[in-house]
């Protein structure tokens, strides 16, 4: 980064700022932020917190990197491929960086946290590296980059939940939004980087969650998804970590809020909106959550319940603290208490030491669960995880791929069966937008999270709840008409 280019450009920006401020006599954001998110919904929600912090620093977002004064990539590290995608994307900013030497390029999120200073060493275009718990420090770090220095903050926190920051909603449809309720994870599944890149689990103050949900409804949002790596272990008793709850005082225990209570509070406070939540964890899910779901019409009948493997020995190697049988008992409980509940999963093929028999257990568990859909991947060893340190990634790639294909093919069959079960019925659908397939069609989801497409009719618009007769389907889409 060339010092005098930077000073020169700084002068231009300040001059531009000065002029605009003078003309309008008001404060106006003139700096442009290009913010691109990768990976899970937690990252997309974090980007809305980042956009809010930087908005207060004079940045407005732009969708054109060429226009940007600051480019930020919110990165994912869940699999090797996710990191390669980021490196490739960074290389695409070479030209714009040459044209705009004052341009600052930064990386946020899990890959930033995993690589830390190595990111600056390995990627010369990168000026700024910020971990998921350090976004409040962005204004200071940007000041450092203004002097031509690179800047980094990857400190993880045991308290940070950004509870007091009102996210700037990015690129949404104005009717569905995510509200984060926990950060980090304490579960230490042996294949997973999240505990290392997002730190210890902490729950957000329920008052700030309710405030954000109410504001969303007041601003016309019709669906809220409560978000966390593991929503079932949500527990608020004044800010301490869940593992210290036993030390809490009587009053703290008496006024503590767990996930079932939070869900009940949000569904009651936002009765005009649909409520969803993700991601659940079979080892922490309480039956109380199911009864709260059954009690509230506006809580959607859908649970994302990752399992990763259908075999108990593999689950033990993954440090998933439940057996195949316990997971099946939970499925039975869900279907008993909420008969029309849809369930989806996460599944990994070819984890360390996985035998053909163990793989078959995964297929038979899927048959038993009759999942609506799933996120299915071959095991990708992640540096620094317990599996990487203590186990051999010994299942050959072609076997991993063959098993993954079998899992995906089976899920395709199960999805079609599930989708068929929604046909020849009327469902309530929230219109979320125009179908990608046709300008003349709306798309939206039923309570069970399946996507439906149907012809637009007069007097219907995005954000409306409509009754749709589902006459047909594919394994991924319901086809219907408004009735």
| Residue 222 burial (CB count, 10 A) | 23
DSSP 8-state symbol, 204: P
Residue 187 sits in the site that holds ligand SF4 (CB under 6 A)? yes
Instruction: Please state, in angstroms and rounded to a whole number, the distance separating the CA atoms of residues 214 and 223.
Output: 11
Residue with Cβ nearer ligand SF4 (195 or 463): 195
Pick the piece of the chain touching ligand SF4 (CB under 6 A) from 139-147, 163-171, 185-193, 285-293.
185-193
Residue with Cβ nearer ligand SF4 (187 or 434): 187
Residue with Cβ nearer ligand SF4 (157 or 421): 157
Residue with Cβ nearer ligand SF4 (105 or 194): 194
Residue 41 sits in the site that holds ligand SF4 (CB under 6 A)? no
Per CB under 6 A, the list member of 39, 106, 132, 195 interacting with ligand SF4 is: 195
Pick the piece of the chain touching ligand SF4 (CB under 6 A) from 80-88, 182-190, 214-222, 287-295.
182-190
Q: In what order do the strands lie in the sheet with 302-304?
A: 302-304, 342-349, 373-378
Residue 192 sits in the site that holds ligand SF4 (CB under 6 A)? yes
- Binders of ligand SF4 among residues 214 to 253 (CB under 6 A) are 229-230
Residue 267 CA to its chain's centroid (Å): 21
308 upstream amide cis, omega within 30 of 0: no
Residue 281 sits in the site that holds ligand SF4 (CB under 6 A)? yes
Whether 226 contacts 266, CB under 8 Å = yes
Pick the piece of the chain touching ligand SF4 (CB under 6 A) from 29-37, 192-200, 329-337, 360-368.
192-200
Token code pair at residue 333: 């409980």
Per CB under 6 A, the list member of 53, 104, 189, 478 interacting with ligand SF4 is: 189
Residue 194 sits in the site that holds ligand SF4 (CB under 6 A)? yes
Q: How far is the CB of 233 from ligand SF4 (least distance, A)?
A: 9
In order, the DSSP letters of 354-399 are: --HHHHHHHHHHHHHHT-SEEEEEE----TTSHHHHHS---S-HHH
**Residues in contact with ligand SF4, total (CB under 6 A)?**
10
Residue 110 sits in the site that holds ligand SF4 (CB under 6 A)? no
Residue with Cβ nearer ligand SF4 (155 or 188): 188
Q: How far is the CB of 324 from ligand SF4 (least distance, A)?
A: 17
Residue with Cβ nearer ligand SF4 (15 or 243): 243
Residue 267 sits in the site that holds ligand SF4 (CB under 6 A)? no
141 upstream amide cis, omega within 30 of 0: no
Q: How far is the CB of 134 from ligand SF4 (least distance, A)?
A: 20
Rg (Cα) of the chain, in Å, rounded?
A: 24
Residue 108 sits in the site that holds ligand SF4 (CB under 6 A)? no
Instruction: Please state, in angstroms and rounded to a whole number, the distance separating the CA atoms of residues 129 and 86.
Output: 13
Per CB under 6 A, the list member of 185, 213, 224, 452 interacting with ligand SF4 is: 185
Residue with Cβ nearer ligand SF4 (387 or 452): 387
- 302-328 b/e (C-beta count within 10 Å ≥ 16 → b): bbbbbbbbbbbbbbebbebebebeebe
Give the CB-side neighbour count of residue 222, counting CA atoms within 13 A.
Answer: 18
Whether 224 contacts 275, CB under 8 Å = yes
Residue with Cβ nearer ligand SF4 (137 or 186): 186
Residue with Cβ nearer ligand SF4 (187 or 312): 187
φ, ψ of residue 349 in degrees (nearest 5): -100, 145
Whether 291 contacts 318, CB under 8 Å = no
| CA distances for 478 relative to 173, 412, 423, 439, 471, angstroms | 21, 14, 8, 17, 8
Binding site for ligand SF4 (CB under 6 A): 185, 187-189, 192, 194-195, 229-230, 281
């Amino acid at each position: 980064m060339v010092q005098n280019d930077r000073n020169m450009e700084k002068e231009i920006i300040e001059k531009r700022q000065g002029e605009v401020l003078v003309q309008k006599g008001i404060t106006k954001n003139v700096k442009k932020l290009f913010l691109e998110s990768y990976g899970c919904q937690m990252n997309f929600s974090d980007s809305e917190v980042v956009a809010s912090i930087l908005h207060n620093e004079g940045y407005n977002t732009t969708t054109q990197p060429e226009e940007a004064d600051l480019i930020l990539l919110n990165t994912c590290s869940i699999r090797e491929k996710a990191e390669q995608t980021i490196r490739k994307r960074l290389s695409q900013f070479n030209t714009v960086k040459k044209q705009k030497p004052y341009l600052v390029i930064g990386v946020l999120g899990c890959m930033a946290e995993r690589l830390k200073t190595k990111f600056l060493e390995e990627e010369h275009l990168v000026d700024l590296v910020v971990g998921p718990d350090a976004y409040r420090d962005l204004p200071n770090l940007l000041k450092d980059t203004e002097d031509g220095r690179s800047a980094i903050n990857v400190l993880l926190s045991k308290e940070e939940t950004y509870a007091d920051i009102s996210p700037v909603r990015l690129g949404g449809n104005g009717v569905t939004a995510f509200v984060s309720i926990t950060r980090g994870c304490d579960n230490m599944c042996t294949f997973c980087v999240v505990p290392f890149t997002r730190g210890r689990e902490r729950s957000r103050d329920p008052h700030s969650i309710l405030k954000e949900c109410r504001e969303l409804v007041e601003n016309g949002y019709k669906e809220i998804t409560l978000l966390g790596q593991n929503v079932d272990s949500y527990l608020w008793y004044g800010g301490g970590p869940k593992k210290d709850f036993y030390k809490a005082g009587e009053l703290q225990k008496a006024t503590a809020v767990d996930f079932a209570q939070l869900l009940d509070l949000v569904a009651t406070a936002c009765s005009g909106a649909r409520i969803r939540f993700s991601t659940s964890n079979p080892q922490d899910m309480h039956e109380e959550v199911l009864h709260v779901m059954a009690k509230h019409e506006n809580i959607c009948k859908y649970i994302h319940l990752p399992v990763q493997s259908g075999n108990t020995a593999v689950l033990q190697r993954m440090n998933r603290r439940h057996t195949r049988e316990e997971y099946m008992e939970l499925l039975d409980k869900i279907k008993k208490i909420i008969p029309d509940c849809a369930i989806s999963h996460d599944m990994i093929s070819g984890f360390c030491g996985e035998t053909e028999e163990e793989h078959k257990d995964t297929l038979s568990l899927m048959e038993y669960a009759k999942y609506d859909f799933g996120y299915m991947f071959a095991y990708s060893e992640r540096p620094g995880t317990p599996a990487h340190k203590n186990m051999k990634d010994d299942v050959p790639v072609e076997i991993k791929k063959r098993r993954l294909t079998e899992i995906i093919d089976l899920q395709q069959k199960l999805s079609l069966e599930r989708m068929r079960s929604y046909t020849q019925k009327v469902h309530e659908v929230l219109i979320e937008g125009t179908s990608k397939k046709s300008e003349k069609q709306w798309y939206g989801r039923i309570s069970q999270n399946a996507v439906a497409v149907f012809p637009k009719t007069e007097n219907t618009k995005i954000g409306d709840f409509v009754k749709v007769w589902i006459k047909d389907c594919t394994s991924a889409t319901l086809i219907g008409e408004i009735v």
